[in-house]
Amino acid sequence: MNGKKVVDWKKTTAKKYVDLTNVPAKDLKIVVNQKHQTVNIYKNNKLVEQFLCSTGKRTKETATPVGTFAIEPEHGTWFYNAKPDVAEGARNFVSFKDHGVYLFHSVVMNQDNQPIMSRQGRLGHPNSHGCVQMSLPDNVYFYNTFSQPDKVGTKVVIEPFSK
């Protein structure tokens, strides 16, 4: 799934979108495989959804934290970090660690909520400051599913690059 070709961030990378509306958080698990740069969603331990992502660049300052976390209540349709060393934002974020620090979100946007073109086409490769980035349609699906109050507590596992 994570071939070396450039992936169109405007298109889905999923085969289908499974409706998880009435599935309780305890029956769901999100596994981010950093080696393959995929988001994998399980229902009752069965893989039901998979799409490409970009996790953190492989440096001490930008690595995606490895371990077991949970979907947190913090979410929103837009954020922008104006710090000079960051200067980017994203659409449709859902927190999974440190209440708004580590997020699932769209590909990166500028201050006008438009894609930063020099940062696109990197899905399937580490490209973030520690968050998990997704294509625009995959991100909308993820946000619509996991920003709901009944999905808070959904288990999130971030696997290391070696797994």
Q: What is the pLDDT of residue 162?
A: 84
Catalytic residue among 36, 105, 125, 129: 105
Catalytic residue among 53, 75, 129, 131: 131
Highest mean pLDDT among 1-5, 76-80, 127-131, 159-163: 76-80
Residue type, 14: A
Backbone torsions φ then ψ of 39, nearest 5 degrees = -100, 125
In tens, the pLDDT along 18-58 reads 999 999 999 999 999 999 999 999 999 999 999 999 999 98
Q: Specify burial of residue 110 (Cβ count, 10 A radius: 0-12, 13-18, 19+).
A: middle
Show the domains of the chain with their CATH numbers: 27-159 (2.40.440.10)
Direct distance between the N- and C-terminal alpha carbons of the chain, in angstroms, rounded to an integer: 16
Q: What is the pLDDT of residue 83?
A: 85
Task: Tell me the C-alpha distance between 16 and 60, whole Å.
Answer: 35
pLDDT value at 3 more than 90: no
Average pLDDT estimate for 140-157? 98
Which of the four pLDDT bands, split at 50, 70 and 90, describes residue 6? Answer: low
CA dihedral 14, 18, 55, 120 (to 10 degrees): 40
Residue 105 a catalytic site member: yes
pTM as predicted: 0.92
